[in-house]
Structure 1
Amino acid sequence: MNTSERKKNRSIPVNTMANEFGIGISIEKISFTDLPIDDAKQSHRDDGHSFFLLENGTVDIEIDFKRYTIHSSSVIYMHPNQVHRILAFENVTVSSWSINNENLNPDYLNLLEDLTPAKPLALTNETFSVISEAVSLCLKFSERKNDKLYHSLCRDSCNALVALVASQYLEQSTSIDKLSRFETITKAFRKLLERDYTNAKRPAEYAQMLNISTPYLNECVKNTTGYSVSHHIQQRVILEAKRLLFHSDKSVKEIATELGYDDYPYFSRLFTKVTGMTALAFRSKNLD
């Protein structure tokens, strides 16, 4: 994306994938060997929780400044907050489905929040076959627009697909009932951080929300992750700053305000401290 194209974006572009059918749900299967380069490199967020089942080919994708190479018989989940773009692809067949919060089973929503950020997940042949068959059935459901319960049919079948994929991610993570006290508190802190990072910047604020002392919260988080509570708060803020610097045309001062910093010079110093470069240098470097 060249500079002039990027300057058109006052904010991060949002792909209305989940509303393709006008009901907050979409599902499709596409095959391609080539796409216009601008389409392929257009960074964006999705308006729903999006899932991509790579059935054939290879895709290089960038998600929040991290690059992944995904091979066939893999699946990946992307949260609506995450910014992503395709970098390269070869002889691809992919099934994708997206569902917004309103249609998503609340229990699944909680699971997905815990999974974020999720990496691409390679599937066994058996699991891939089951999910692929389920996608084919859901695609048939999506074509039955005259059915009286069309919306319910799409919603329930899409939730079933979400459950199939989420269960695969859960198999590779620590069971909730096996989490230590430290891990449980760290998990709760991360959920609060995702919700409140623009408003709450001090470890004491999160400790108060969790009804524990600040030293104990720090002990739990550092024991579990190797980093302090302050480190996680700063990293989350700076990730959002990077997203906005690269994918939008907002000024550094506007970004600081959006992220909850009225003291613009402080935000600038924080960005430099965490990334090793100024915000403007980061923006210029990533436009080259």
Structure 2
Amino acid sequence: MSGNPNSIPLNTMADTFGTGIFLETASLKELELYEQATQAHRDDYHLFCVQEKGTTTFEIDFQRHQVAGAAVIYIQPNQVHRVINLEKVNLRVLIISHDNLNADILRILQEIAPVKPLKLSKETFDLVSEAISLCFKFFERKQETLYQSILKASCNALAALITSQYLALAKPTENLSRFEIITKAFKSILERDFVLTKRPADYAEKLKISTVYLNECVKKTTGQPLSYHIQQRIILEAKRLLYHSNKSVKEIAFELGYDDYPYFSRLFTKTVGMTALSFRKKNLD
């Protein structure tokens, strides 16, 4: 974990596990990393958790989730998260780096993320359970000549199986309307460029359509205009930094691309309903 007190703690694959794929099984309270898991942090790797039983309560980007019984939990890189409470929980965990994740799986996860924890039927859970059991068997067989290839293939099969369960809930691309396709493309660019790109017109230019049409597509699909989504993404990042770092509001404004600090302060207050400092105090008390 990063030791810099002026940033959100970041667990890196290399520093924490020293490898591109790692598996762990136990009650989470018995894991070596349990104490870190209860502190708000980010990871630079993909985390797939298969919960066999019990109840887990945790927080991802200020959203609280409670997961009971057979379920899978996917946390994407850089999402700020922490464990809040555990009740008789058994987990099996796959931790895998960008480089070791199949490109098609990675693309789909980036398109559908963020996702919520997913409850599984008994039939599906049994299949997921078999897949992760096989991963663990291969993980222990380090003497195999093609160890890394076998391990990577088995873990990608598990990741693909879990991803397919999320994908089944999403509307197939071929069934998307023109408005939905454009909105999806906008959200993808927004996630990538929100620090540098603030104006709706700039997003329209990137998509090679008019601002009026882009706004119509987004509002028709989501119920909210372009400006709302841009502001919400910026404010989410501001909340992350206010809650999980000791940077000043002025430093956060600058980091998020605002040279005009008073404007950023007004935007935060208008969007959240309280000042940035009040938000920090409320969440740290």
Q: Structure 2 residue aligned with 1:100, among 94, 97, 102? A: 97
CA RMSD of aligned residues (A): 1.9
- The percent identity for this pair of structures is 59
Out of 65, 72, 77, the residue aligned to residue 75 of structure 1 is 72
Work out whether 1:28 is the aligned partner of 2:27: no
Give the equivalent residue in structure 2 for 1:4. none
| Amino acid in structure 1 at the alignment position of 2:7 | S
In 1: Cα distance, 2:28 partner to 2:73 partner: 18
Give the match for residue 59 of structure 1: 56
1:79 positional shift: 1.0
> Is 1:214 paired with 2:211?
yes
SS of the residue aligned with 2:27? strand
Q: TM-score, normalised by structure 2?
A: 0.94
Query: 127, 135, 140: which is aligned to 2:137?
Result: 140
Aligned equivalents of 1:81 and 1:181: distance in 2?
30
SS in 2 for 1:277: coil
- Say yes or no: does 1:10 pair with 2:6: yes
Q: Look up the match of 1:279.
A: 276
Q: 1:191 to 1:230 in 2, by over 3 A?
A: same
Partner of 2:166: 169
Q: Deviations over 1:135-164 (max 9, x none)?
A: 111011111223232222222222111110
Higher mean displacement: 15-24 or 220-229? 15-24
**Distance in structure 2 (CA, Å) of the matches to 1:40 and 1:108:** 25
- Distance in structure 1 (CA, Å) of the matches to 2:54 and 2:46: 23
Query: Residues 195 and 217 from structure 1, CA distance in 2 versus in 1: closer, same or farther, beyond 3 angstroms?
Result: same
Describe the superposition over 1:18-54 as per-residue Cα deviations: whole angstroms up to 9, x where unpaired: 7654232212111256789954530111221111111
TM-score by structure 1 length?
0.93
Q: Which has the higher contact order (CA 8 A, sep 6+)?
A: 1
2:7/2:244 contact within 8 Å kept: yes
- Which whole-Å CA distance do the structure 1 matches of 2:167 and 2:222 have between them? 19
Residues in 1 aligned to 2:34 and 2:10: alpha-carbon distance in whole angstroms:
18
**Matched positions, count:** 282
CA distance in 1, matches of 2:37, 2:95: 19
For residue 102 of structure 1, give the secondary structure of its aligned residue in structure 2: helix
- Go from structure 1 to structure 2 and tell me whether the alpha carbon gap of 1:19 and 1:133 turns closer, same or farther (over 3 Å shift): farther
Counterpart check, 1:49 vs 2:53: no
Deviations 1:216-251, CA, capped at 9 Å, x for gaps: 000000000000111000000000110011011111
Q: Give the Cα–Cα distance (whole angstroms) in 1 for the partners of residues 67 and 238 of structure 2.
A: 27
